Amino acid sequence: MTAHFSRIRSLLAIIFLAIGLSGCGYNTIPTLDEAAKAKWAEVQNQYQRRSDLIPNLVATVQGYAKQEKEVLTAVTEARAKATSINVDASQITDPEKIKQFQAAQAQLSGALGHLLAVSERYPDLKSNQNFLALQSQLEGTENRIAVARRDYIQAAQAYNTNLRTFPGSVWASIFYKDAKPIAAFTATAPNAEQAPAVKF
């Protein structure tokens, strides 16, 4: 009878310990880390969507404005550079990698801005249905990029705050010693927090 009672007590102690650990924040660090990685994946997804639209946009503009070769080349080169810089979820703790990614995306945004400004000089291009559809998709994508970046910044902030505050800092120092703060986006130019103006 005593052995049976001892087993029940041991089982209850394990249950209470598991409940205590789950409620004390032990799982918070990996949970927030995974949330930030998911938000980063969405940032990449939206930038990829923009990148996928660019060849069609360039081809459409090229059909009407062949003499704008320099601008078209700049967009194509900026797209190539932006797509060559990949930052996977395991690298979001590296501020230098995030900075390189941001710089390439900012260069592409600038090149796109020049391309869209060129369209103002071509009334036939501005009324082309394919161009108008691409314009609409690009505007929507820029908005989704802004939302995805905002969500990632919030997820990174939650994770970083948990690493620096109690009880997360205790768990990090004991169980998650390799946990590093996640790098957030920073403004790279004046008004960089706003999507580029797309005017046709």
Residue 195: what pLDDT?
Answer: 56
196 falls within a domain: no
Closest CA to 51 of 100, 103, 129, 109: 109
User: What local confidence, expressed as pLDDT, does residue 10 receive?
Assistant: 76
Per-residue pLDDT tens digits for 120-175: 889 888 889 999 999 999 999 999 999 999 999 999 999 999 999 998 999 899 99
Question: For residue 190, is it within any domain?
Answer: no
pTM of the full structure: 0.81
pLDDT at 41: 96
On the question of pLDDT at 3 being above 80, the answer is: no
- Look at residue 160 and give its three-state secondary structure: helix
Residue 43, amino acid: V
C-alpha pair distances (Å), 3 with each of 6, 9, 13: 5, 10, 15
Q: How far is it, in rounded angstroms, from Cα 7 to Cα 55?
A: 68
- Among 43, 51, 30, which Cα is nearest to 154's? 43
3-class DSSP state of 147:
helix
Q: Which residue has the higher pLDDT, 12 or 70?
A: 70
Which residue range forms the structural domain that includes residue 132?
28-174
* Percent residues over pLDDT 70 in the chain: 86
Q: Read off the CATH number of the domain in which 54 is found.
A: 1.20.1440.20
Within a domain: residue 97?
A: yes
78 in any annotated domain: yes
Q: Exposure of 75 by Cβ count < 10 A (0-12 exposed, 13-18 middle, 19+ buried)?
A: buried
Whether 188 is covered by a domain: the verdict is no
- 200 pLDDT exceeds 50? no
Euclidean distance between CA atoms 156 and 166, whole angstroms = 17
Task: Answer yes or no: is 122 within a domain.
Answer: yes
Per-residue model confidence (pLDDT) at position 19:
57
Greater confidence (186 vs 99) lies with 99
Domain count, the chain: 1
Average pLDDT over residues 46-51: 96
pLDDT, tens digit (0-9, with 9 covering 90-100), for 53-102: 999 999 999 998 888 999 999 999 999 999 999 999 999 999 999 999 99
Evaluate if residue 24 carries a pLDDT over 70. no
Sign of CA dihedral 169, 171, 176, 182: negative
Position 197 pLDDT exceeds 60: no
Answer yes or no: is 194 within a domain: no
